[in-house]
C-alpha cells in the first residue's frame, strides 16, 4: 500500500501489485517487519482497503514505482514496484502534479512516485486521450460470499496484467457480464452493444462482415471490469489471423461422481498421445470443475483444427469407453469425463488464462506445470484473493514461451490408422 504527504498529512495513494520477484518480496517483508503497527498511519482505514487483509507499518520506507497516471479517486494507476529509495525521507514524498512552463524550467519536484516516461503523454498531442478508466460504484460487491468488489477485481487484473496479456491481447472475445455480481442476472456478449461502447474496446469486422471485439491494453481490460464482465472467453485465434487457429483447447469436464485423480490421469494421457505426435502441450485449471489442455500451433484452418481435436478424443473414447465420452448428451455422461473438443471450431471460445469465473469463491483459471497435477491442486484452488501469493512464489511461469511454440498438426488420416 502506498501513500504520499499532502500538507504534512499522509494520504492514501492505492497499491502497487506488480514488480516483485520472490527475492525482492522476501527482502521487503524483512525490512517492514520491525515497522509494524496496529492501526493505519493514514489516521483511519481508507475506504478502498475495507474488507482486505493488510498489515500496517510506520510510513518510514520510500518506494520508487512507475505508474501511468492518477485515477479519479487519486490513486496511482498501473503501479509497478521498482525498489526502495534510501536517499529520500518519507516526508519528502508528495504528489507529482502537472508543471507550468516556469516550474518545468525550474525542475522542482520531490515525489518518489515517479511517472514513467514511457507512458507520459506527448506535450503537444493532437488527439485527446481517453483518460483513466473510471469505475462507477467501485465498492459494488461482485462475489458476496468472499466480499470481492469491483475495485478489487480491477486491482486483481492490474496486478496480473503481465501474465494475462499474452493470452488475451488481440484475441476475439466473448464476455459473461454480471453487472450486479454473481447473485444477479448474467448474460453473454460478443459485440460492442450496450455497456461496451468505448474506444478502449476495439472492433473489427471479419471477411463475413461479423463484428468482433478485442482489447490491446490494460485500459481495455479495466473497461471490461467497469462493464461488469466476470468471465473473459477468447477465440483460439488472433484478430490478425482470424481464419486460422493458433491454440487448440481440450476441455476435460468430469461428471459429478468422477474423482479428481481421474481428471488428472486423463489430461496426462492426452499429453502423452500428443507427445507421440511430437506436439507440445500445456495445462491450466479452469476455475470450475476440470482442466484445459492447450496445444499451440503455427496456424491451422479451423476445420482442420476441429477435425484433429475430434480425432484425438475419439481415440481416447474408443480405448476407454467406460471412462470417456465425446458427446455433450448429459444422460450418457454419468461417471465419465466429457472430452470437449468443440471449443476448436470457428467462433467457439474458452475461458482465458487468469480470467475470473462467475462462481462462488471468485475462482480463477490458472496455468500450472504438469508436475503440479495432483490431489493438492483442485480446479478451483486459485482465487482473486490468493493468486498473488502463488505468482510471487513462482520461480518460472508454467506457460513461459507458449507463444513461441510453432508446431504443425499432423495429417488427420495418420491418426485413424
Cα–Cα distances (Å) from 248 to 164, 172, 236, 251, 308, in that order, read: 18, 15, 6, 10, 9
177 has which bridge partners? 187, 229
Q: Does domain 244-415 have CATH number 3.30.200.20?
A: no
Does CATH place domain 3-119 in 2.40.50.140?
yes
Residue 398 pLDDT class (50, 70, 90 cuts):
very high
Same fold? 3-119, 244-415: no
Cell numbers 518519507: residue: 90
Backbone angles phi, psi at 15, to 5 degrees: -130, 160
Is residue 292 a contact partner of residue 252, using CB atoms and an 8 Å limit? Answer: yes
Task: Identify which of 232, 229, 213 has the alpha carbon closest to the alpha carbon of residue 170.
Answer: 213
Express each pLDDT in 99-116 by its tens digit. Answer: 444 444 443 333 333 333
Per-residue pLDDT reduced to its tens digit, 175-215: 999 999 999 999 999 988 767 778 899 999 988 888 999 99
Question: In terms of pLDDT, which residue wins out, 401 or 100?
Answer: 401
210 vs 227: CA distance, rounded Å: 22
Rounded distance, CA 339 to CA 325, Å? 6
pLDDT exceeds cutoff 80 at 96: no
What is the pTM for the complete model shown? 0.70
* pLDDT tens digit sequence for 215-239: 999 999 999 999 999 999 999 999 9
Whole-angstrom distance, CA of residue 150 vs CA of residue 139? 6
Which residues are bridge partners to 76 per DSSP?
Answer: 70
pLDDT at 328: 72
Residue 326 near residue 339, CB atoms below 8 Å: yes
Would you state the pLDDT for residue 86?
66
Domain limits, the chain: 3-119, 141-234, 244-415
Q: Percent of the chain, pLDDT > 70?
A: 87
- Render 215-275 in DSSP notation, one character per residue: --SHHHHHHHHHTTEEEEEE-SS-TTSTTEEEEEEEEEEE-TT--HHHHHHHHHHHHHHHH
Cell of 27: 527482502
Amino acid at each position: 500500500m502506498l501513500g504520499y504527504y499532502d500538507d504534512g498529512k499522509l494520504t492514501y495513494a492505492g497499491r502497487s501489485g506488480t514488480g516483485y520477484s520472490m527475492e525482492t518480496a522476501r527482502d521487503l517483508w524483512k525490512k517492514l517487519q520491525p515497522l509494524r503497527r496496529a492501526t493505519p498511519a493514514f489516521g483511519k482505514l481508507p475506504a478502498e482497503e475495507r474488507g482486505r487483509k493488510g498489515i500496517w507499518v510506520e510510513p518510514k520506507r520510500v518506494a520508487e514505482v512507475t505508474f501511468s497516471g492518477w485515477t479519479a479517486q487519486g490513486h496511482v494507476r498501473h503501479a509497478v514496484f521498482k525498489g526502495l529509495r534510501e536517499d529520500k525521507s518519507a516526508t519528502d514524498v508528495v504528489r507529482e502534479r502537472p508543471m507550468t512552463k516556469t516550474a518545468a524550467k525550474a525542475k522542482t519536484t520531490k515525489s518518489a512516485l515517479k511517472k514513467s516516461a514511457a507512458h507520459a503523454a506527448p506535450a503537444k498531442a493532437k488527439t485527446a486521450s481517453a483518460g483513466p478508466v473510471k469505475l462507477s460504484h467501485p465498492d459494488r460487491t461482485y462475489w458476496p460470499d468472499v466480499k470481492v468488489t469491483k475495485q478489487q477485481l480491477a486491482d486483481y487484473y492490474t496486478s496480473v496484467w503481465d501474465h494475462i496479456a499474452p493470452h488475451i491481447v488481440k484475441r476475439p472475445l466473448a464476455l459473461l457480464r454480471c453487472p450486479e455480481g454473481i447473485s444477479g442476472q448474467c448474460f453473454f456478449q460478443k459485440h460492442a452493444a450496450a455497456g461496451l461502447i468505448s474506444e478502449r474496446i476495439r472492433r473489427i469486422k471479419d471477411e463475413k462482415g461479423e463484428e468482433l471485439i478485442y482489447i490491446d491494453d490494460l485500459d481495455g481490460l479495466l473497461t471490461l471490469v467497469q462493464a461488469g464482465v466476470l468471465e473473459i472467453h477468447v477465440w483460439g485465434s488472433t484478430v490478425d489471423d482470424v481464419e486460422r487457429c493458433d491454440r487448440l483447447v481440450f476441455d476435460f469436464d468430469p461428471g459429478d461422481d468422477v474423482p479428481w485423480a481421474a481428471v488428472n490421469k486423463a489430461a496426462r494421457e492426452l499429453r502423452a498421445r500428443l507427445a507421440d505426435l511430437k506436439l507440445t502441450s500445456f495445462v491450466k485449471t479452469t476455475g470450475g470443475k476440470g482442466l484445459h489442455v492447450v496445444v499451440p500451433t503455427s496456424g491451422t484452418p479451423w476445420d482442420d483444427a476441429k477435425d484433429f481435436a475430434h480425432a484425438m478424443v475419439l481415440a481416447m473414447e474408443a480405448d476407454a469407453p467406460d471412462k470417456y465420452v465425446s458427446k455433450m448428451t448429459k444422460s450418457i455422461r454419468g461417471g465419465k469425463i466429457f472430452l470437449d473438443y468443440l471449443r476448436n471450431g470457428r467462433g467457439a471460445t474458452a475461458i482465458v488464462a487468469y480470467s475470473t469465473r462467475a462462481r462462488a469463491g471468485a475462482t480463477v483459471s490458472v496455468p500450472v506445470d504438469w508436475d503440479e497435477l495432483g490431489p493438492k491442486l483442485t480446479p478451483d484452488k486459485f482465487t482473486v484473493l490468493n493468486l498473488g501469493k502463488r505468482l510471487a512464489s513462482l520461480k518460472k511461469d508454467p506457460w513461459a514461451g507458449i507463444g513461441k511454440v510453432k508446431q504443425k498438426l499432423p495429417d488427420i488420416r495418420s491418426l485413424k490408422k
